[in-house]
Amino acid sequence: MLTSDRILPLQTIDQLKWDLGLPYDYQHSFVPNHPERFSYVRLPDHRVGLKLLFWDDKLAISELQKNTSLQQKAEDIKNGSLAFPISFTRGFGLKRKCMEWLKEWQKLPYTSPYTNASHLDPRTDVSEKRIVGVFHELLHLTLHKQTERKNVSNLRRPLALPQKFTKVFERHPGIFYISKKSDTQTVVLREAYNGQEPVQNHPLVQIRQEFASLLKKGLLDRSRGVYRKKPSDTNMVKGLRKGVCIAEKTNYLSSKDESDSMFSEYDSDGPLQNPC
């Protein structure tokens, strides 16, 4: 629903399916069960894409719009200039000129990520606020409110975004955080975390964590010799180890860092580009 033509290549969906909580075999177990909503199409580059057939206006409401009564001022709601929740790391300061620019930027009109924005000039701050809104919504749709940066790098055409659109992550460190743990750049939505802990856990996240714990226990018991070793057990152990790696993928940002806070130090793949 965020795309301009309601189509996404399967390759793009595959990169995001873990973060979105989709079944591993969604192409066979989920899509065929909803023929009235989805269909496969052949793209101009000969790849296969998934097309949305049914538009639901009830779902085309962004997270920012849902929380207007709690997070927004009455005047801003009336003017349609919704502001994003912003927080900075302790000790991270902006120059007064930049803070003034940020306050004025927050007052600009908010364009829903579910509406057509082709009329916006990509060189304007209003367009930039729309881009921020798109990724603010996309991260809210993920289970952990985060995804690897490479997963969004190929969304420019489907989402009708301008060149170098990912620069908004550096330009708005109060909204997004870029982690480089395990040599992997991960874009995190700041408002979704209180220190290292998520503000709210998705039910599927708890299931994954319990599954990872169960696999760990099985491997530990196996190493202690609790189970009688058989020649056929080799493949089973390899499978368990692989399962642990997959299940722990969602928890690598929750592990204890050298600091007390997940956002103790602003980190990105480049210096902050001052908008002012």
**pLDDT > 60? residue 78:** yes
In angstroms, the CA 180 to CA 187 distance is 9
pLDDT band at 239 (very low <50, low <70, confident <90, very high): low
- The structure's pTM equals 0.77
Total residues belonging to the chain: 276
Residues 87-99: tens digit of each pLDDT: 887 777 777 888 8
Q: By the 8 A CB rule, do 275 and 210 touch?
A: no
Residues 3-17: tens digit of each pLDDT: 989 999 999 999 999
pLDDT band at 225 (very low <50, low <70, confident <90, very high): confident
